[in-house]
A and B are shown apart, each in its own frame.
Chain A
């Protein structure tokens, strides 16, 4: 399945890109995705293993199963206001 990954703020700067498509095996979860991203190495590897994720624009636990076409964002610690 193919996931649309979005990166923001510090994580985007580490990765050097704000979005990419990631191909994952069936049964993959949000945690699988984070590991797949980290395994790209370089700045990607500096994204924390326990990064917060949002699946289809809602905060989601790392065990969340993913589906083809999902939009998943890696959310650095937030600092609005």
Chain B
């Protein structure tokens, strides 16, 4: 399993190369990229912050869960932290499987789970110098033991 939280630039080809198998006919690569606007405001950069020690564990859990839902598929996921400029890759997810449908589905589901559960935050930095932590998702918490 190829799972990382990294401060370095993501190499999408390396993430894609870490999945695949001789009986896999489909490989899907998703890249999350810093966009130059949000809610009508021009964005200069985004600061990604993570609870790194926990985030790498959570990401590994999400990937393991996704692989268990579709036995035989392979998944790689890398999330970058630090200040990223417009056009830089913040998240790369690669999935390979026997057929395309489950590769697309697994990639989509993993990305949604990352947004819901990974302890990562982003502060948008606008071209006018203002900054703002973006509203996020409240992660699900296990029930209390009885």
> B-contacting residues of A (Cβ < 8 Å)?
6, 8-10, 13, 52, 54, 57-64, 73, 75-81
Contacts and interface: CB of A to CB of B under 8 A. Distances in A.
A8 B138 contact: no
B120 interface: yes
Contacts of B116: 78
A73 B54 contact: yes
Given A73-B54, A80-B118, A59 B140 contact: yes
B14 interface: no
A58 B137 CA distance: 17
A70 B105 CA distance: 38
A80 B141 contact: no
A38 to B, nearest CB: 18
Nearest to A7: B51
B133 A13 contact: yes
B115 interface: yes
Contacts, number: 91
B65 to A, nearest CB: 14
Contact of A77 (B48, B137, B141, B142): B137
Given A59-B140, A73-B51, A77-B137, 8 more contacts: A9-B121, A9-B133, A54-B51, A61-B141, A75-B119, A77-B139, A79-B133, A79-B137
A26 to B, nearest CB: 19
Interface in B32-54: 32, 48-51, 53-54
Contact of A52 (B121, B138, B143): B138
B115 A52 contact: no
B79 interface: yes
